[in-house]
Amino acid sequence: MYIDGKKALLMIKDPDIKNIIGNYLFFRYNLLTESVDGILEVLQQISGDSSYEMVILDEAVAGLATASQALVNIKDRNLETNVLFLSTLLEITDPYFVGQLDLLPNYADSFYRMDQTNTQLQLRLDMHAPVMMAATMEEVYPIVCRRLAEAFNADGALCANLRLGVEPVTRGIMVGNFPWDGRERYEFHIPSSGYFRELITYYRPVHIPDLDEYPEFRRELQEKFSLDCRSILILPMQIAGKCVGFIGM
């Protein structure tokens, strides 16, 4: 909680996000918020004013390169001022990265926008191409796993189907992994509680940045899928509102 008179400066394009953040900073930290539309206004506003405790920069307004340079300039002038990118806050509030494959907003920096758009489109093509070109699903699974690992720079990836027809689902079928561990398709048990049960029942992705904090689940991943990793992201696959399997990396 800050003392009266302390402020936060927001350069945020989306009015809804701006209102949410402004209300939160006021009621949670007693920070009054002021808004500007561009980088030059940000620099002019904070020049010589020590009452700003926080500045939030939206890269969608001026592009990442320009916003990054503004961050450096602000810190050079006001060492005690906290400067955050809006994307950092959105990552914190979007822990399962559901927007990972969404095209980015229109950045003012046209070259940066073009580069990011091309990258995102290539990711989509990498995911869809195996499905369009494969003759059978047996060909799709291992290629998708490899493309997932390559596209997101992951150490490995897996793909599993659920053995449906019995409720609750208690068995899964490992249909693909990368790198391949030498095992053909095999079944594995799905316990009545835990992360996999929540994923299947509530379509809730599993995202654990540090598996060292969850040794039991780490052992489960090693035993089921031969995965020895530091972090994990597992996403459900749905058809007609029903979970039919999952992919992970």
Q: In angstroms, rounded to a whole number, what is the distance separating the alpha carbons of residues 50 and 71?
A: 16
Average pLDDT of the segment spanning 47-72: 80
pLDDT at 91: 65
Phi, psi of 58 (to 5 degrees): -95, 115
Average pLDDT of the segment spanning 98-111: 52
Q: How confident is the model at residue 97 (pLDDT cuts 50, 70, 90)?
A: very low
Give every CB contact of residue 37 below 8 A, 6+ residues apart in sequence.
Answer: 11, 61
Q: In angstroms, rounded to a whole number, what is the distance separating the alpha carbons of residues 195 and 197?
A: 5
What size, in residues, is the chain?
249
- Between 41 and 153, the more confident residue is 41
Same fold, 7-93 and 137-248: no
Q: In angstroms, rounded to a whole number, what is the distance separating the alpha carbons of residues 11 and 160?
A: 44
| CATH-assigned architecture of domain 137-248 | 2-Layer Sandwich (3.30)
pLDDT digits (tens, 9 = 90+) for 139-195: 777 777 887 787 777 888 888 888 888 788 888 888 888 877 667 788 888 887 788
pTM for the model stands at 0.51
Q: Which of 184, 177, 153, 187 is nearest to 226 (CA)?
A: 177
What is the domain partition of the chain in residue ranges?
Answer: 7-93, 137-248
Give every CB contact of residue 60 below 8 A, 6+ residues apart in sequence.
Answer: 13, 86, 104, 105, 106, 107, 108
CATH of 7-93, one of 3.40.50.300, 3.40.50.2300, 3.40.50.740, 3.90.1150.220: 3.40.50.2300
Q: Which of 45-54, 136-145, 215-224 has the lowest mean pLDDT?
A: 136-145
pLDDT digits (tens, 9 = 90+) for 73-94: 887 777 678 888 887 777 666 5
